[in-house]
Amino acid sequence: MQRRQILKNIAGIAGVGASNFVLGNPIATLVNLSTQRKADLLVNAKQAFSSALKTSPTLLGLQNNTGNFPPRQLTIEGKLPNDISGVLYRNGPAKFERGDQRYLHQFEGDGMINSFTFSEQSITHQGKFVQTAKFIAEQQKNKFLYSGPLSQIENSRNVSHADVVNTANINVIPVNNEIWALWESGSATAMNAETLDTKRRVNLGENSQYGDKLKGLAFSAHPKIEANGDIWNFGLSPSGHIALYQLSAKGTVKNVGMINARYRGKMLHDFLITHKHILIILPSLTANSVNDSNAMALFNSFKYDENLPMQVLVIDKQSLALKKQFELDAGFAFHFGNAWEETDGTIHFDASINNNIGVMDELSELMSGKLRSLDNSPHTALFTLHTNGSTTKSSIDGDSEFPRVYDHLVGQRNKKLYTLSHTESNFWRDTVCCLDTDSGEKDKFVYGENFIAEEHIIVSNTAKEGEGYLVGTALHIPSKRTCLNIFKADSLNKGPICRAWLPYHIPLGLHGSFKAS
């Protein structure tokens, strides 16, 4: 697609087409649904979870959180490395209940940002809810006002655009002197990087040639940040169109494009970049044709189709035009680690790949206190897209999720892939792992079944793969406390070299970032 046509399409989105694009957002479609049938389910979910928690303390991380955490210096075990200076930010759903109701899915909870500030032999924690328009309105009324992607609220308020129900609950990245709390289907939310106070809803086109033309468009929760600071991202419309963004390190839009992927799966969580291309991998999801009002809720409106190949869209980063398309075996992935490209155009990427989307149901059942089995856990798969159009896939034994690579290698060749898996726990992940993608060797540390490990992040002051630290939080179930763990990145098997304890537990998070001082 030529640049002039792209700009014309964006202008269309911002003008007459804007309402269609935004109102067509999958979250916004919920306003037209019947809200009667599931009202009792939310009450039952709260009662069932409360009952289950009494005998299953492993559910602690999904307990409803009622308030912020003021700054508190943590108790440290071991020696805190003196070459870590900065802030670890974490985001995740934390507000699950209001009144006698509880959401039916973990992903519906309102977002809370937790920060861990490293400074001269001390670590300070604080946590604050993101003050989105939805959160503020529901706090004032002390009840749910809007239906979620699965939970239908009786007499739910209408939703004029997606940001009305934006929960800002998935990821957080540093941008310029702020942090941005990210959601799946709407705008980023800018926050004060130090105080965690909410500042504003980000208007992407502000201070650029696009002005208000991009206001309210979907901006996914998994932007890729290149070593030069450029921020790449996408946003999915249920019409099957995918918006593509290139931002500067300061958050100013440099380029925007759009492709019509004709995708009907309604959920597209993550993507990849190489140094030349954007990779959009469309999972084997399709619209659910069941004639049932339950199927109209977003999370019930799509289904996994084992006969539908995954599609890989290879998009030129300069023109933002679709260049190639590949087909892979049927599959679904929430998360990808990295992609890189050889000089002849051969592309490699990894995925934590599932053979179904059973995990969506499991995360719903957890909200009612039903423990999950981890039978549907994904595993690492290494894909190669050859220049002749063929593809190859290599699967790695064992489950894996939350893949991470060194920041300076995003879009470049990596050899180390850090993931989470489970070893002793039958409920959640309890193992951090580093896979050497060349040799297949693994270095890992097993927290054990008394811990619930969350996504771990690489912190390094050097641009050398294997150096630095792996940092992440884990919930210690017996003591009902969360701890922050620091590993040497090249020797996970030796265990954490330092551990900082909170005197309480925080809700299980999803994703985060480290901002060096």
pLDDT, tens digit only, all 517 positions of the chain: 444 444 455 544 443 333 333 333 444 444 344 444 556 899 999 999 999 999 999 999 999 999 999 999 999 999 999 999 999 999 999 999 999 999 999 999 999 999 999 998 899 999 999 999 999 999 999 999 999 999 999 999 999 899 999 999 999 999 999 999 999 899 999 999 999 999 999 999 999 999 999 999 999 999 999 999 999 999 998 789 999 999 999 999 999 999 999 999 989 999 999 999 999 999 999 988 765 555 557 888 889 999 999 999 999 999 999 999 999 999 999 999 999 999 999 999 999 999 999 989 889 999 999 987 777 789 999 999 999 999 999 999 999 999 999 999 999 999 999 999 999 998 889 999 999 999 999 999 999 999 999 999 999 999 899 999 999 999 999 999 999 999 999 999 999 999 999 999 999 999 999 999 9
Cβ 313 vs Cβ 325: under 8 Å: yes
Q: What is the pLDDT of residues 75-110, one digit of tens each?
A: 999 999 999 999 999 999 999 999 999 999 999 999
End-to-end CA distance of the chain: 41
Question: Burial of 305 by CB count in 10 Å (0-12 exposed, 13-18 middle, 19+ buried)?
Answer: middle
Give the integer Cα–Cα distance in Å for 420 and 374.
13
Cβ 462 vs Cβ 424: under 8 Å: no
Q: pTM of the entire structure?
A: 0.93
Tokens of 265: 């799966």
Give the integer Cα–Cα distance in Å for 252 and 66.
35
Q: Using N-to-C axis directions, what is the helix angle for 16-23 and 3-14, rounded to 10°?
A: 80
Using H for helix, E for strand and C for coil, what is the string for 408-464? Answer: HHCCCCCCEEEEEECCCCCCCCCEEEEEECCCCCEEEEECCCCEEEEEEEEECCCCC
Tokens of 499: 């551990």
Please name which of 454, 444, 451, 392 lies closest in space to residue 417, comparing C-alpha atoms.
444
Using H for helix, E for strand and C for coil, what is the string for 125-180? Answer: EEEEECCCHHHHHHHHHCCCCCCCCCCCCCCCCCCCCHHHHCCCCCEEEEECCEEE
DSSP H or E stretch at residue 396: strand 391-399
